[in-house]
Chains A and B, each alone.
Chain A
Protein backbone atom coordinates (compact mmCIF):
# COMPACT_ATOMS: atom_id res chain seq x y z
CA UNK A 1 0.00 0.00 0.00
CA UNK A 2 1.08 3.57 -0.61
CA UNK A 3 1.86 5.52 2.51
CA UNK A 4 -1.40 6.53 4.10
CA UNK A 5 -2.92 7.62 7.36
CA UNK A 6 -6.29 8.68 8.74
CA UNK A 7 -6.85 12.09 10.23
CA UNK A 8 -9.16 14.82 11.34
CA UNK A 9 -9.25 18.35 10.00
CA UNK A 10 -8.39 20.88 12.69
CA UNK A 11 -8.69 24.05 10.65
CA UNK A 12 -6.71 26.47 8.56
CA UNK A 13 -4.11 29.01 9.50
CA UNK A 14 -1.14 30.87 8.15
CA UNK A 15 2.55 30.14 8.65
CA UNK A 16 5.65 31.89 7.42
CA UNK A 17 8.42 30.15 5.49
CA UNK A 18 12.15 30.97 5.69
CA UNK A 19 11.87 33.78 3.16
CA UNK A 20 9.01 35.35 5.09
CA UNK A 21 6.34 34.29 2.64
CA UNK A 22 2.97 33.51 4.20
CA UNK A 23 1.70 29.99 3.54
CA UNK A 24 -1.98 29.08 3.83
CA UNK A 25 -2.04 25.69 5.50
CA UNK A 26 -4.64 23.25 6.67
CA UNK A 27 -3.78 21.65 9.99
CA UNK A 28 -4.68 17.97 10.22
CA UNK A 29 -4.53 15.81 13.29
CA UNK A 30 -3.14 12.70 11.63
CA UNK A 31 -2.85 9.45 13.50
CA UNK A 32 -1.63 7.62 15.39
CA UNK A 33 -3.51 4.83 13.67
CA UNK A 34 -3.66 1.17 14.61
CA UNK A 35 -3.44 -1.52 11.97
CA UNK A 36 -6.54 -3.58 12.73
CA UNK A 37 -6.51 -6.20 10.01
CA UNK A 38 -4.58 -7.32 6.97
CA UNK A 39 -6.70 -8.28 3.97
CA UNK A 40 -5.18 -11.05 1.88
CA UNK A 41 -6.16 -12.32 -1.56
CA UNK A 42 -6.48 -15.88 -0.17
CA UNK A 43 -8.94 -14.97 2.55
CA UNK A 44 -10.63 -11.79 1.31
CA UNK A 45 -10.00 -11.77 -2.44
CA UNK A 46 -7.95 -8.58 -2.32
CA UNK A 47 -5.08 -7.16 -0.37
CA UNK A 48 -5.39 -4.12 1.83
CA UNK A 49 -4.50 -2.76 5.23
CA UNK A 50 -7.30 -1.86 7.58
CA UNK A 51 -6.52 0.97 9.97
CA UNK A 52 -8.43 2.70 12.72
CA UNK A 53 -8.19 6.22 14.08
CA UNK A 54 -9.33 7.74 17.38
CA UNK A 55 -10.52 5.67 20.31
CA UNK A 56 -14.19 5.19 20.89
CA UNK A 57 -15.55 4.77 24.43
CA UNK A 58 -16.19 1.08 25.06
CA UNK A 59 -19.75 1.79 26.19
CA UNK A 60 -20.53 3.17 22.71
CA UNK A 61 -18.87 0.33 20.83
CA UNK A 62 -20.80 -2.74 19.81
CA UNK A 63 -19.56 -6.11 20.94
CA UNK A 64 -18.48 -6.90 17.40
CA UNK A 65 -16.42 -3.72 17.31
CA UNK A 66 -14.74 -4.60 20.57
CA UNK A 67 -14.11 -8.13 19.38
CA UNK A 68 -12.59 -6.79 16.17
CA UNK A 69 -9.80 -4.92 17.94
CA UNK A 70 -9.12 -7.13 20.94
CA UNK A 71 -9.65 -10.69 22.07
CA UNK A 72 -12.98 -11.15 23.80
CA UNK A 73 -13.28 -13.40 26.78
CA UNK A 74 -16.31 -15.17 25.33
CA UNK A 75 -17.53 -18.73 25.37
CA UNK A 76 -17.12 -18.99 21.61
CA UNK A 77 -13.51 -17.85 21.72
CA UNK A 78 -12.79 -20.37 24.46
CA UNK A 79 -14.51 -23.18 22.62
CA UNK A 80 -12.73 -22.39 19.38
CA UNK A 81 -9.29 -22.16 20.92
CA UNK A 82 -10.02 -25.37 22.81
CA UNK A 83 -10.88 -27.03 19.50
CA UNK A 84 -7.50 -25.91 18.16
CA UNK A 85 -8.74 -23.23 15.76
CA UNK A 86 -6.17 -20.53 15.25
CA UNK A 87 -7.83 -17.15 15.89
CA UNK A 88 -6.93 -14.16 13.72
CA UNK A 89 -4.47 -11.74 15.31
CA UNK A 90 -5.92 -8.70 17.09
CA UNK A 91 -4.53 -5.20 17.39
CA UNK A 92 -5.26 -5.17 21.12
CA UNK A 93 -6.39 -1.55 21.29
CA UNK A 94 -9.52 0.42 22.17
CA UNK A 95 -12.46 0.24 19.72
CA UNK A 96 -11.77 2.67 16.89
CA UNK A 97 -14.01 5.51 15.80
CA UNK A 98 -12.96 5.79 12.17
CA UNK A 99 -11.95 2.62 10.35
CA UNK A 100 -10.89 2.54 6.71
CA UNK A 101 -8.87 0.31 4.40
CA UNK A 102 -5.96 1.23 2.19
CA UNK A 103 -5.88 -0.99 -0.88
CA UNK A 104 -2.61 -2.47 -2.07
CA UNK A 105 0.09 -4.83 -0.90
CA UNK A 106 0.22 -5.18 2.87
CA UNK A 107 3.92 -5.90 2.87
CA UNK A 108 5.65 -4.56 5.93
CA UNK A 109 2.46 -4.18 7.94
CA UNK A 110 1.43 -6.31 10.88
CA UNK A 111 -1.73 -6.23 12.93
CA UNK A 112 -1.27 -4.05 16.00
CA UNK A 113 1.34 -1.88 14.37
CA UNK A 114 1.01 1.87 14.88
CA UNK A 115 1.12 4.26 11.95
CA UNK A 116 2.13 7.78 12.92
CA UNK A 117 2.53 10.98 10.99
CA UNK A 118 6.29 10.55 11.23
CA UNK A 119 5.95 7.74 8.70
CA UNK A 120 5.04 10.39 6.12
CA UNK A 121 8.28 12.29 6.75
CA UNK A 122 9.65 11.73 3.23
CA UNK A 123 6.34 12.30 1.46
CA UNK A 124 6.26 15.46 -0.65
CA UNK A 125 2.58 15.57 -1.57
CA UNK A 126 -0.60 13.82 -0.51
CA UNK A 127 -4.10 13.10 -1.77
CA UNK A 128 -6.78 13.83 0.80
CA UNK A 129 -10.33 12.53 0.71
CA UNK A 130 -13.12 13.81 2.91
CA UNK A 131 -16.83 14.49 3.02
CA UNK A 132 -17.61 18.02 1.82
CA UNK A 133 -19.92 20.36 3.69
CA UNK A 134 -23.53 19.71 2.68
CA UNK A 135 -25.19 22.60 0.89
CA UNK A 136 -28.59 20.99 0.35
CA UNK A 137 -30.60 21.45 -2.81
CA UNK A 138 -28.72 24.22 -4.58
CA UNK A 139 -29.35 26.20 -7.72
CA UNK A 140 -27.27 26.00 -10.88
CA UNK A 141 -25.36 29.19 -10.05
CA UNK A 142 -23.99 27.87 -6.78
CA UNK A 143 -23.66 24.24 -7.84
CA UNK A 144 -22.17 24.59 -11.31
CA UNK A 145 -20.92 28.19 -11.38
CA UNK A 146 -23.50 29.22 -13.96
CA UNK A 147 -23.70 32.94 -14.59
CA UNK A 148 -27.43 33.40 -14.05
CA UNK A 149 -29.28 35.99 -16.03
CA UNK A 150 -29.18 39.76 -16.27
CA UNK A 151 -30.48 42.07 -13.59
CA UNK A 152 -32.45 44.15 -16.06
CA UNK A 153 -33.29 44.38 -19.77
CA UNK A 154 -36.57 42.58 -19.42
CA UNK A 155 -35.45 39.69 -17.20
CA UNK A 156 -38.32 38.95 -14.85
CA UNK A 157 -37.88 36.97 -11.63
CA UNK A 158 -35.39 34.56 -13.20
CA UNK A 159 -32.12 36.34 -12.33
CA UNK A 160 -30.58 33.24 -10.76
CA UNK A 161 -32.14 30.71 -13.12
CA UNK A 162 -30.12 28.53 -15.47
CA UNK A 163 -31.71 29.45 -18.82
CA UNK A 164 -32.58 27.09 -21.66
CA UNK A 165 -31.85 23.38 -21.36
CA UNK A 166 -32.77 21.53 -24.49
CA UNK A 167 -33.46 23.59 -27.57
CA UNK A 168 -30.28 22.88 -29.52
CA UNK A 169 -31.03 20.49 -32.34
CA UNK A 170 -27.51 19.03 -32.40
CA UNK A 171 -28.21 17.20 -29.15
CA UNK A 172 -30.66 14.32 -29.47
CA UNK A 173 -32.54 16.17 -32.18
CA UNK A 174 -33.57 19.08 -29.98
CA UNK A 175 -36.49 19.38 -27.63
CA UNK A 176 -34.76 17.17 -25.04
CA UNK A 177 -31.86 18.09 -22.75
CA UNK A 178 -28.42 16.66 -23.34
CA UNK A 179 -27.67 13.74 -21.04
CA UNK A 180 -25.87 14.78 -17.88
CA UNK A 181 -27.03 18.40 -18.24
CA UNK A 182 -25.93 20.46 -15.24
CA UNK A 183 -29.00 21.43 -13.25
CA UNK A 184 -29.98 22.34 -9.69
CA UNK A 185 -29.86 19.54 -7.15
CA UNK A 186 -28.15 18.18 -4.06
CA UNK A 187 -24.76 19.84 -3.62
CA UNK A 188 -22.09 18.88 -1.12
CA UNK A 189 -22.11 16.12 1.48
CA UNK A 190 -20.23 13.90 -0.93
CA UNK A 191 -16.84 12.28 -0.86
CA UNK A 192 -14.27 14.40 -2.64
CA UNK A 193 -10.55 13.76 -3.10
CA UNK A 194 -8.18 16.68 -3.48
CA UNK A 195 -5.01 15.47 -5.14
CA UNK A 196 -1.41 16.56 -4.91
CA UNK A 197 -1.55 18.76 -1.82
CA UNK A 198 1.99 19.67 -0.86
CA UNK A 199 3.10 18.81 2.65
CA UNK A 200 4.18 22.01 4.36
CA UNK A 201 5.23 20.74 7.74
CA UNK A 202 5.01 17.69 9.97
CA UNK A 203 4.82 17.93 13.74
CA UNK A 204 5.43 14.40 14.96
CA UNK A 205 5.26 15.41 18.60
CA UNK A 206 1.67 16.63 18.36
CA UNK A 207 0.69 14.26 15.51
CA UNK A 208 -0.01 17.15 13.18
CA UNK A 209 0.28 17.29 9.43
CA UNK A 210 0.15 20.61 7.62
CA UNK A 211 -0.63 20.78 3.92
CA UNK A 212 -0.77 23.77 1.60
CA UNK A 213 -4.29 24.64 0.56
CA UNK A 214 -7.76 23.54 1.53
CA UNK A 215 -9.17 20.07 2.18
CA UNK A 216 -12.81 18.97 1.94
CA UNK A 217 -15.18 19.12 4.88
CA UNK A 218 -15.68 21.07 8.07
CA UNK A 219 -13.16 21.41 10.89
CA UNK A 220 -13.47 18.15 12.81
CA UNK A 221 -14.28 16.19 9.65
CA UNK A 222 -12.56 12.85 9.08
CA UNK A 223 -9.97 12.57 6.32
CA UNK A 224 -8.22 9.80 4.45
CA UNK A 225 -4.67 10.81 3.59
CA UNK A 226 -2.46 8.97 1.14
CA UNK A 227 0.78 9.64 -0.64
CA UNK A 228 -0.21 11.17 -3.95
CA UNK A 229 -0.43 9.00 -7.03
CA UNK A 230 0.23 11.95 -9.29
CA UNK A 231 3.42 11.60 -11.27
CA UNK A 232 5.88 14.48 -11.21
Chain B
Protein backbone atom coordinates (compact mmCIF):
# COMPACT_ATOMS: atom_id res chain seq x y z
CA UNK B 1 0.00 0.00 0.00
CA UNK B 2 2.68 2.51 0.93
CA UNK B 3 4.51 1.69 -2.28
CA UNK B 4 1.50 3.11 -4.10
CA UNK B 5 1.84 6.34 -2.12
CA UNK B 6 5.51 6.48 -3.08
CA UNK B 7 4.53 6.11 -6.72
CA UNK B 8 2.13 9.02 -6.43
CA UNK B 9 4.68 11.18 -4.71
CA UNK B 10 7.51 10.33 -7.08
CA UNK B 11 6.22 12.78 -9.69
CA UNK B 12 6.22 15.60 -7.16
CA UNK B 13 9.65 15.01 -5.69
CA UNK B 14 12.53 17.26 -6.69
CA UNK B 15 15.58 15.44 -7.90
CA UNK B 16 17.97 18.37 -7.94
CA UNK B 17 17.97 19.16 -4.24
CA UNK B 18 21.30 19.98 -2.68
CA UNK B 19 22.23 17.83 0.25
CA UNK B 20 22.08 19.87 3.41
CA UNK B 21 22.10 18.73 6.99
CA UNK B 22 20.82 19.96 10.31
CA UNK B 23 23.02 22.77 11.55
CA UNK B 24 23.87 24.06 8.09
CA UNK B 25 23.49 27.71 7.29
CA UNK B 26 21.44 28.00 4.11
CA UNK B 27 19.94 30.58 1.77
CA UNK B 28 16.42 29.60 0.75
CA UNK B 29 15.28 31.26 -2.47
CA UNK B 30 11.49 31.41 -2.59
CA UNK B 31 9.38 32.51 -5.52
CA UNK B 32 6.85 35.12 -4.57
CA UNK B 33 4.01 36.33 -6.77
CA UNK B 34 3.22 40.00 -6.50
CA UNK B 35 0.30 40.68 -8.80
CA UNK B 36 1.57 39.31 -12.11
CA UNK B 37 5.23 39.73 -11.31
CA UNK B 38 7.31 37.04 -9.81
CA UNK B 39 10.34 37.76 -7.72
CA UNK B 40 12.68 35.79 -5.53
CA UNK B 41 13.02 36.30 -1.83
CA UNK B 42 15.92 34.94 0.14
CA UNK B 43 15.64 33.69 3.69
CA UNK B 44 18.93 32.73 5.23
CA UNK B 45 19.51 31.06 8.54
CA UNK B 46 20.35 27.81 10.28
CA UNK B 47 18.46 24.62 9.54
CA UNK B 48 17.27 23.46 12.94
CA UNK B 49 14.84 20.68 12.06
CA UNK B 50 13.62 18.44 9.31
CA UNK B 51 10.39 16.48 9.53
CA UNK B 52 8.23 14.21 7.44
CA UNK B 53 9.04 12.18 4.39
CA UNK B 54 8.22 12.12 0.71
CA UNK B 55 6.49 15.25 -0.57
CA UNK B 56 5.53 16.14 2.97
CA UNK B 57 9.09 16.83 4.09
CA UNK B 58 9.37 20.18 5.86
CA UNK B 59 12.46 21.91 7.16
CA UNK B 60 12.77 24.75 9.63
CA UNK B 61 15.20 27.62 9.21
CA UNK B 62 15.99 29.91 12.13
CA UNK B 63 17.69 33.27 12.09
CA UNK B 64 17.96 36.30 14.30
CA UNK B 65 16.37 39.46 12.87
CA UNK B 66 16.87 42.65 14.86
CA UNK B 67 17.50 40.74 18.05
CA UNK B 68 14.37 38.64 17.61
CA UNK B 69 14.46 34.98 16.64
CA UNK B 70 12.55 34.21 13.43
CA UNK B 71 11.76 30.71 12.23
CA UNK B 72 10.30 29.72 8.89
CA UNK B 73 9.14 26.30 7.88
CA UNK B 74 9.41 25.33 4.22
CA UNK B 75 8.04 22.36 2.32
CA UNK B 76 11.21 20.89 0.86
CA UNK B 77 9.68 19.80 -2.44
CA UNK B 78 7.48 22.84 -3.04
CA UNK B 79 7.80 24.34 -6.52
CA UNK B 80 7.81 27.75 -4.87
CA UNK B 81 11.24 27.05 -3.49
CA UNK B 82 13.55 27.92 -6.34
CA UNK B 83 16.88 27.07 -4.80
CA UNK B 84 18.56 26.15 -1.55
CA UNK B 85 22.16 27.21 -1.15
CA UNK B 86 24.38 25.84 1.57
CA UNK B 87 26.55 28.62 2.92
CA UNK B 88 28.36 26.77 5.68
CA UNK B 89 27.84 23.58 7.57
CA UNK B 90 27.88 23.32 11.33
CA UNK B 91 28.88 20.44 13.54
CA UNK B 92 25.88 19.35 15.59
CA UNK B 93 25.04 16.29 17.64
CA UNK B 94 21.25 16.34 17.43
CA UNK B 95 18.58 16.08 14.75
CA UNK B 96 16.56 18.95 16.22
CA UNK B 97 18.35 22.09 17.35
CA UNK B 98 15.49 23.44 19.43
CA UNK B 99 17.98 24.34 22.15
CA UNK B 100 19.06 27.27 19.99
CA UNK B 101 15.74 28.92 20.80
CA UNK B 102 16.85 29.45 24.38
CA UNK B 103 20.14 30.97 23.38
CA UNK B 104 21.15 34.49 22.43
CA UNK B 105 24.30 36.16 21.26
CA UNK B 106 27.53 34.27 20.94
CA UNK B 107 26.17 30.96 22.18
CA UNK B 108 23.98 30.62 19.09
CA UNK B 109 27.06 29.97 16.96
CA UNK B 110 27.78 26.45 15.82
CA UNK B 111 31.21 25.02 15.17
CA UNK B 112 31.88 24.98 11.46
CA UNK B 113 32.61 21.80 9.60
CA UNK B 114 35.62 22.48 7.43
CA UNK B 115 35.73 21.00 3.98
CA UNK B 116 38.89 19.11 4.90
CA UNK B 117 37.24 17.62 7.94
CA UNK B 118 34.27 16.50 5.88
CA UNK B 119 36.44 14.53 3.48
Known A16-B78, A22-B75: A10·B4 in contact at CB below 8 Å: yes
- Cα A11 to Cα B9 in complex, Å, equals 12
Known A20-B78, A206-B7, A210-B8: A13·B55 in contact at CB below 8 Å: yes
Q: In the complex, which of the residues A16, A20, A219 contacts B1, with contact meaning CB atoms closer than 8 Å?
A: A219
Are B55's CB and A16's CB within 8 A?
yes
- Cα A68 to Cα B2 in complex, Å, equals 32
Q: In the complex, what residue of chain A is closest to B6 when comparing beta carbons? A: A13
Residues of A close to B79: CB separation below 8 A: 16, 20
Task: Check: B40 CB closer than 8 A to any chain A CB.
Answer: no
Residues of B close to A14: CB separation below 8 A: 55-56, 75
Known A20-B79, A22-B75, A208-B8: A15·B2 in contact at CB below 8 Å: no
Are B12's CB and A27's CB within 8 A?
no
Residues of A close to B116: CB separation below 8 A: none
Q: In the complex, which of the residues A15, A22, A206 contacts B4, with contact meaning CB atoms closer than 8 Å?
A: A206
Task: Check: A47 CB closer than 8 A to any chain B CB.
Answer: no
Are A27's CB and B31's CB within 8 A?
no
Known A20-B79, A22-B75: A11·B55 in contact at CB below 8 Å: no
Q: In the complex, which of the residues B5, B31, B56, B78 contacts A10, with contact meaning CB atoms closer than 8 Å?
A: B5
Interface residues of A in 2-27 (CB under 8 A from B): 10-11, 13-16, 20, 22, 25, 27
Interface residues of B in 1-40 (CB under 8 A from A): 1-2, 4-5, 7-9, 12, 31
Q: In the complex, which of the residues B1, B5, B31 contacts A220, with contact meaning CB atoms closer than 8 Å?
A: B1
Query: How many residues of chain A are within 8 Å of chain B by beta carbon?
Result: 17
B54-84 CB mask vs A (1 if < 8 Å, else 0) is 1110000000000000000001011110000
- Cα A206 to Cα B8 in complex, Å, equals 9
Q: In the complex, what residue of chain B is closest to A17 when comparing beta carbons? A: B79
Interface residues of A in 170-192 (CB under 8 A from B): none
Residues of B close to A16: CB separation below 8 A: 12, 55, 75, 77-79
Are B78's CB and A13's CB within 8 A?
no
Q: In the complex, which of the residues A10, A15, A219, A220 contacts B12, with contact meaning CB atoms closer than 8 Å?
A: A15
How distant is B94 from chain A, measured CB to nearest CB, in Å? 26
- Cα A131 to Cα B100 in complex, Å, equals 46
Residues of B close to A13: CB separation below 8 A: 5, 8-9, 54-56
How distant is A196 from chain B, measured CB to nearest CB, in Å? 22
Are A27's CB and B55's CB within 8 A?
no
Are B78's CB and A11's CB within 8 A?
no
For the complex of A and B, 8 pairs with smallest distance between CB atoms? A20-B80, A20-B79, A10-B4, A14-B56, A14-B55, A10-B1, A15-B12, A27-B8
Residues of chain B having any CB pair with chain A under 8 Å = 1-2, 4-5, 7-9, 12, 31, 54-56, 75, 77-80
